[in-house]
Each structure stands twice: as C-alpha cells, then as structure tokens.
C-alpha cells in the first residue's frame, strides 16, 4: 500500500484518527495520534516531529526532537478504538541530519536486512516466532521499601480446585498438563479464536492456536513466517491484539517468561531460514536435510548464544524459565526433533522450502526487532566464518548422566551473566554498522542499571522464608 492508497483507504473507511506507532528501546510499543485531516501525501516524506526525551533508552532532554516517518505499507484499521482509527508503524529519524536514528529498533532490523543482501549470502531472512503467553483473570503486585507481593489467578489454575465458586465445576488443569485438553478443561478456546480472527483482520496470517503446557491459561497462537522486519512488525501487532482482546473480555495477558513457579514458562522459539533468488540456502543433503550454510548458521548461533541471550532473553525473569527440567533448553547443542537441544531442525514439511533451524532459547519479553536481528547476525557470522557446530546431539539431554552432561556448554544462568557475555562478544553484531557500539553500550547500561541492579538490591519474599530466623 503506497501513500495514495492509504489516503484513499482513509476516505473509504471514513477514518477520523491516525495513530502513529513506534518501538522504544527495551521493546514496548509507543504511539501518538493526529486527526485524519492532518495526514497528507507529503507527511510520508517530511515526517512529523515529536519529543523523544521521555522514550526509554533514547535521547537526552537537551536533544529531544525526533521525527516519525509513517510507513504506508504497515497501515491497518485499529479493531479496538472507539473512533475510526488507522494505525501505521513508523521509522524514527534525526530531524537535523534526517538520518535513521541508530537506537530505533526498527532501524536495526532494516539494517540487518540490508547487510544480509550486501554479503551476497542471501536476499531475505525469514523468521517464524512461536509466541506464547498467559491469560490470567486477576493480577496484583506491589513493591515498597518495606513490603513486596504479587498474586495472580486463573479460573483454570490447579490451586483453585477447592475454592468455593458457587459452584466449583472442577476441570482445573494440573501443572504441565495443559497441552491439549478440550473444553471445558480448556476454558480459553473462544477468547483464543477471537484473538486469532482479530489478528487476521489486522493482516497477520495465522496457522493455528492452542492451549500450552502450563496450567492457568498458557496459550500459543502461531503466525506464518515472514521477512525479518515485517515479522517484527507483526509481533508488535500480535501483542497489541492479544492484550486488548483479553482486556475487553475482562482478562489480562502477560508475555512475562516465568510468572508461575513450578510450571512451564513462556518461550518464543524462533525459526530462521535465509533465501537467495527464491531458493532456500539452508536446504541441502547434510544432516537432517541441511546445507553446509545451514550448519554453519547453527555454528554461529551456538558460538554466540551466551551474548545473544542478553538480547533474546532480556529480563531477569527470563532466567527463571531457562532452568533444567522444563521445556526451555539450557544446553547449547543442536539436533533433529530433540526439543531438549537449544537449536532444533524441525521435521515438518518434506520440501527444501521448509528447511530451517529453530532457536529455542528466546522468550517474548524480547524486543522483536533487536532479537530477530541478533539471531540473523549470528547466523551470518557462522556462515561467513565457517563455524563448525560440531556433532548433533540426538539423545535426551535432560536424562544424561553428569559425566556426559559436563561436556555440553550451557546458557548463562542470569541476565547479568548474559550481559557480561555480550560485553565480551559483540563484534559480530557491529558488522555493516547494524548494531552500533552506542546501541550495545546503551543496552548493557540500561539493563544493568534499570533491571539487574534494581532486582539485586531488593529483598525477595522467599528470603524471609529462608533467613528471617537467622
């Protein structure tokens, strides 16, 4: 859709409001709105000014002016706004130089795609994220100098099996048994269908939806793969739709990786393939039908995984999911079909077009533009430098004896460790000026000061269980 078509759509749909959206540095959608009458064809060339000083991780107060440049091809009608509203995703520019802003996450994604083309290795990186999330009925939390609490609830939660619900009809989901019981045990069929159909109306191609493994409303709605920046755009729309459909049904959605203790966390397994001239470069006659390029891409991801996780698993809570014994893999190995390996080669599909790798560590708290870019840059580095991934590991890693397990490297155990790995290993991200040094330094500083230190300096409620009588 070009600018003329957007303006025609506004007239045909009698749009009253234009909503301009962009991603902040950590990964939350931001927006402001203008009257539809203010949108002109020249707006797509000149942009609109706004104050960027309050956007997390962006400009200082003394250099706050920014430009949003709406991208016409991203336009869709907002399914939730009371006034007829057309949404467009925007790029961010410096108003003086009119250059793309280096800390705009969408700019990083676009630069990754340009860099891939410049290498000659491919012209398109296709990403297919499997976003999971929880749908809860109630959430409460508080943090003060002298108290801390959180409490969540779901009609499906196993802990409600004895609650007086006048009447309690049973059918609570036992821990780790949410995959795939039919209603009435699965209470979320209708709301998931509503989310799916709303996503489709917003331009997202959906393949399926289902209840996930955990009790208390864990959910997955699967999107069909797309090119890197478009897929990151779709993740933003996906989250927006999921949260707002839940809101209008008096429920709430969280993409927090580990909201429940003792049950499965929420992941975002990422499928990747690189194509050139409409041919999948990962398809070949090697292990599990992979080409040598595909194997080298795995080598790059495994080598850089500790640093990657600072971006693909960017919260302190992420590392409460990455623990042995659950579905999230912590061992840096690759395998066909084996879900305990951090990189898997899926067996779905029989043709070369379906050949891809699946990086299983990431979670949906990640900024999708930065996460997809980092994964792709690690794969490119693996191909360029012919990084051997070693031998595949087709055993169940979680059941290995300690003497075998000790030789398999593992993911960082905390966000702090992942940030240290990123500090040591980020040269592969700087290639093609994709992630600038400023972006890496700002990311590490922001995460340490706002999150790692903030958690480290606060007492945890369980510490009172352990130590109050010391």
Instruction: For residue 98, indicate whether it is catalytic.
Output: no
Tokens coding 70: 């709406």
Instruction: For residue 51, indicate whether it is catalytic.
Output: yes
Residue 258: half-sphere exposure toward Cβ, Cα within 13 Å: 19
Q: Which of 71, 113, 220, 416 is catalytic?
A: 220
Contact 30, 16 (CB under 8 A): no
Q: Which of 117, 210, 339, 448 is catalytic?
A: 339
Q: Which of 8, 46, 51, 404 is catalytic?
A: 51
Alpha helices, H only, 276-397: 292-312, 318-321, 368-384
Instruction: For residue 132, indicate whether it is catalytic.
Output: yes
Instruction: For residue 194, indicate whether it is catalytic.
Output: no
Instruction: For residue 403, indicate whether it is catalytic.
Output: no
Nearest alpha carbon to residue 224 among 407, 349, 104: 349
Q: Which of 78, 113, 130, 363 is catalytic?
A: 130
Q: Which of 233, 358, 363, 416 is catalytic?
A: 358
Instruction: For residue 212, indicate whether it is catalytic.
Output: yes
Q: Which of 192, 211, 269, 321 is catalytic?
A: 269
User: In Å, what is the CA distance from 133 to each residue of 50, 180, 223, 292?
Assistant: 32, 15, 14, 35
Q: Which of 209, 211, 303, 360 is catalytic?
A: 360
Give Cβ neighbours of residue 131 (< 8 Å, ≥ 6 apart): 220, 221, 223, 235, 238, 239, 255, 268, 364
Cα(365)–Cα(376) distance, rounded to whole angstroms?
18
Nearest alpha carbon to residue 223 among 237, 210, 208, 212: 208
Contact 310, 418 (CB under 8 A): yes
Long-range contacts formed by 72-75: CB under 8 A, 24+ apart: 72/1, 72/2, 72/3, 72/5, 72/6, 72/44, 73/1, 73/2, 74/233, 75/1, 75/6, 75/9
Instruction: For residue 269, indicate whether it is catalytic.
Output: yes
Q: Which positions are annotated as active-site residues?
A: 51, 130, 132, 212, 220, 269, 339, 358, 360
């Amino acid at each position: 859709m070009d600018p003329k078509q957007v303006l025609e759509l506004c007239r045909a749909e009698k749009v009253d409001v234009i909503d301009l959206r962009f991603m902040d540095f950590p990964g939350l959608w931001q927006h402001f709105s203008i009257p539809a009458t203010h949108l002109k064809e020249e707006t797509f060339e000149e942009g609109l000014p706004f104050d960027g000083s309050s956007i997390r991780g962006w400009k200082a107060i003394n250099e706050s002016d920014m430009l949003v440049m709406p991208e016409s091809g991203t336009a869709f009608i907002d399914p939730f706004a009371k006034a007829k509203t057309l949404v467009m995703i925007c790029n961010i520019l410096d108003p003086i130089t009119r250059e793309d802003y280096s800390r705009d996450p969408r700019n990083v994604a676009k630069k990754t795609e340009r860099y891939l083309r410049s290498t000659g290795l491919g012209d398109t990186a296709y990403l297919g994220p499997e976003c999971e999330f929880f749908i809860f009925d109630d959430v409460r939390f508080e943090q003060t100098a002298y108290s801390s609490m959180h409490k969540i609830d779901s009609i499906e939660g196993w802990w409600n099996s004895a609650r007086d619900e006048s009447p309690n009809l049973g059918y609570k989901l036992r821990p780790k048994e949410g995959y795939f019981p039919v209603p009435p045990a699965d209470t979320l069929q209708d709301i998931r269908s509503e989310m799916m159909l709303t996503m489709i109306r917003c331009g997202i191609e959906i393949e399926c939806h289902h209840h996930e493994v955990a009790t208390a409303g864990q959910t997955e709605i699967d999107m069909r793969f797309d090119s890197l920046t478009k897929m990151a755009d779709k993740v933003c729309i996906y989250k927006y739709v999921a949260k707002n459909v839940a809101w209008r049904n008096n429920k709430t959605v969280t993409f927090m990786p580990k909201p429940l203790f003792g049950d499965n966390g929420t992941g975002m397994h990422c499928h990747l393939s690189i194509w050139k001239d409409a041919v999948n470069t990962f398809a070949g006659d090697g292990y599990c039908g992979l080409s040598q390029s595909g194997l080298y891409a795995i080598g790059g991801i495994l080598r850089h995984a500790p640093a990657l996780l600072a971006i693909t698993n960017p919260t302190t809570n992420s590392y409460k999911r990455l623990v042995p014994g659950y579905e999230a893999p912590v061992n840096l190995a690759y395998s066909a079909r084996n879900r305990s390996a951090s990189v898997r080669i899926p067996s779905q599909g029989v043709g070369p077009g379906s050949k891809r790798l699946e990086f299983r560590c990431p979670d949906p708290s990640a900024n999708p533009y930065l996460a997809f870019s980092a994964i792709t840059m690690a794969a490119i580095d693996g191909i360029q430098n012919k990084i051997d991934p070693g031998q595949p590991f087709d055993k169940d890693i979680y059941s290995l004896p300690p003497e075998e397990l000790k030789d398999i490297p593992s993911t960082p155990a905390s966000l702090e460790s992942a940030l240290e790995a990123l500090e040591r290993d980020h040269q592969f991200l700087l290639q093609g000026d994709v992630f600038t040094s400023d972006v890496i330094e700002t990311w590490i500083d922001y995460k340490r000061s706002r999150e790692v230190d903030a958690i480290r300096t606060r007492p945890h409620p369980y510490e009172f269980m352990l130590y109050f009588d010391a």
